[in-house]
Amino acid sequence: MEETREKVKVWPRKDISRETYMTRVTSKRGAGRGYELEGAVATYPSVTHILSYTTVKHALPNWYAKKVADKAHELLVLSDTDFVTKPDIDGFVETIKSAPSEEFKHAGKIGTEVHDLINKAIRYKMDNPYTTWNDVVEGFNNSHLKVLPEAQKAFENWLVFITANYPDIVFLETEFATYIDGYVGTPEGGNINVPLYAGTVDAVGLTENKLVVFDWKTGSGIYDEAGYQVAAYCNSIWNGNKQLADIYGGISGAVVRLSKTDDEFEIKTITDWEQPSGVFNTMCSLYTQLSYSVFDKKARKKKVSNA
């Protein structure tokens, strides 16, 4: 996978133009993501990249093991290929080793399609504010969009969620970048002002004169990392745009999980986002300090010859 660079519109703020864009950079093999802002000296690390470096996903090793075991069971028991009497050991091992990455790719494709569908629906509603969500549904049904069945199911669950929980919400923006600068600690005990983090927000809406920051998920559950992610977005939007406090009554977050197989959705809200945002700022400090070298810069290698 080569490095990808995408332009993402920035949430409007007092100190920048409404037409400002950040460049979202994903490194080779998807190892890391950062954001470049025109005129900024350094790159803003992404919220999700910081979380991946500073949180431990305890369930992930078990998930990997299960996917490998499931693939082995499929090949040995359910498949017509006889791996027992005619073993292709190398091919068998490579196939089961790649099972988790293939699952990640498939899940990523579903997630992308779901986000695109929701983005289109919100954009349509923003451009046609007097239409109902039923009109949006009818329009999508008539468009015959070709997506994976799992993506279609997740989108249908999103429509049920939005009409049941936020029927009168006014969406202000969707798929936009936000960023913030801040102070982090140094190994010497001081503090430096750095580009703290940036990220892409799925959507923000207005209900009862309060902003709601949304994040759409298509995984199997809603975990704490998602809460820190949305809290960081709330902090960036609210404290990066001081004038918002003069316009709106507050800001909160909502993480929404959309099932890909069943008629089900799950929502977890964050009203008191300042506390988890403070924890995330500590993660930012840790992330920055992890970039400092542990060993002396001049590494010395010496071969020991056999006597």
Query: Got the DSSP string for 101-164?
Result: HHHHHHHHHHHHHHHHHHHHHHHHHHHSTTS-HHHHHHHHHHHT----HHHHHHHHHHHHHHHH
Domain residue spans of the chain: 4-74+100-290
**For the chain, how many helices (H) and strands (E)?**
8, 9
Token reading at 132: 């109902």
Q: Are the C-beta atoms of 269 and 257 separated by less than 8 Å?
A: no
Q: Determine how β-strand 33-37 pairs with β-strand 44-45.
A: antiparallel
Question: Residue 27: its pLDDT value, please?
Answer: 76
Whole-angstrom Cα Rg for the chain: 23
Tell me the mean pLDDT per 10 residues along the chain, length 307. Answer: 84 68 80 80 90 73 63 64 58 67 80 94 92 82 79 94 94 94 78 89 96 95 94 94 90 97 96 96 89 74 66
CA pair distance 243, 246, nearest whole angstrom: 5
The CATH number of 4-74+100-290, from 3.40.50.920, 3.40.50.970, 3.40.50.10860, 3.40.1350.10, is: 3.40.1350.10
CA pair distance 283, 302, nearest whole angstrom: 37
CA pair distance 106, 260, nearest whole angstrom: 12
Question: Residue 73: its pLDDT value, please?
Answer: 64
Question: Residue 66: its pLDDT value, please?
Answer: 65
Token reading at 282: 């500590």
Edge-to-edge strand ranges of the sheet holding 265-270: 170-185, 191-207, 210-217, 251-258, 265-270
Helix axes 89-97, 99-127, angle to 10 degrees: 30
Residues listed for the chain: 307
Question: Residue 41: its pLDDT value, please?
Answer: 73
Q: Are the C-beta atoms of 265 and 158 separated by less than 8 Å?
A: yes
Question: Residue 31: its pLDDT value, please?
Answer: 56
Q: Which of 174, 171, 165, 30 is nearest to 108 (CA)?
A: 30
CA pair distance 146, 6, nearest whole angstrom: 24
Question: Residue 247: its pLDDT value, please?
Answer: 92
